[in-house]
Amino acid sequence: MFVVAGVTGHTGKVVAETLLAQSLPVRVIVRDAKKGEAWKARGAEVALAEVKDVKAMTQALRGATGAYLLSPPAMEVTDLPKHATELAAALKAAITESGVKHVVFLSSIAAHVPSGTGPIVSVHIIEQAFKDLQAHVTFLRAGYFMENLLGSLHPMKEQGVLPAMFDAQRKLEMVATADIGAVAAELLRAGASAPKVVELSGPTPSTLTDAAKAFSAALKKPINLAPVPAVAQVDVLKGVGLPETWAKAYAEMNAAVEANRLVFEGTPRRGLITLEQFVARSVN
């Protein structure tokens, strides 16, 4: 039995779909029973649990050979390190009490860096906390999600601009979440033989200039880059709806990109989906 969290998001959905397509037993974790109905119809078991609910998560993980876990988005959080510490403690307790043998945890590029990486510090904290678990843990450190670019789809469609919060020529390790989900499913099947750390990116590093070209081709209109100075980024991010804590965190992450600190610790595995393929599929 494989347990999969995050099935209402991008990566967990792909993990569960991949395993079910291979006729493997899957139990999905959801917070809302209604969101589990479609998965039940496809043959998956459904467990209701909040990630910080140790009792519910222990029950959800019990009997599993492997589990795909992650830190779900929590825009209401105002103290990211505190939230990460609490989440790590709850997940550790559930993993230990349930007896699950292998965990694939969605981490991030630069998770080995202890500070100055914005929201990525959360997975750094969780990685450190998980190091003494008896269960075999694989940290899947993914690059910058290509899906993040879709947050700028409206200004690209309406104004023909792609906001650039760091040097548009700086190469960035981007990866499609479909690649992340597929690799996570593979690692779950590998079990205890899976590496402890897998760093994952797309076929080649890409720039924001490359992204603008890809969206221009897909939208069939010129897309121009609109630089956003560092001093203006928090206000701009708050203006598009991010709470102040998260706006500051993402501005810090952008600064880390600019300083070339958002890097892998080793040599990443390369996914299959190019930036151009991702953009074409997402827009058309």
pLDDT tens digits along 108-135:
999 999 999 999 999 999 999 999 999 9
Whichever domain contains 196, its CATH number is: 3.40.50.720
Note whether residue 75 is domain-resident. yes
Nearest to 29 by CA among 54, 52, 51: 51
What's residue 73's pLDDT?
Answer: 84
pLDDT in tens, 50-105: 999 999 999 999 999 999 999 998 889 999 999 999 999 999 999 999 999 999 99
Note whether residue 108 is domain-resident. yes
Note whether residue 79 is domain-resident. yes
**Mean pLDDT score, 2-17:** 95
Predicted TM-score (pTM) above 0.85: yes
**Residue 284 in this model has a pLDDT that exceeds 80:** no
Phi-psi region of 132 (alpha: psi -120 to 50; beta: other; left: phi over 0): alpha
Note whether residue 58 is domain-resident. yes
Domain that holds residue 183: 2-146+175-201
Q: How many domains does the chain have?
A: 1
Note whether residue 227 is domain-resident. no
Return the CA Rg of the chain.
Answer: 19
Of the CA atoms within 13 Å of residue 261, those in its CB half-sphere come to: 17
- SS3 assignment, position 270: strand
What stretch of H or E contains 57?
Answer: helix 54-61
What's residue 203's pLDDT?
Answer: 97
Note whether residue 50 is domain-resident. yes
What's residue 251's pLDDT?
Answer: 95
Q: In degrees rounded to 5, what are phi and psi of residue 92? A: -60, -45
Q: Give residues with Cβ within 8 angstroms of 74, minimum separation 6.
A: 83
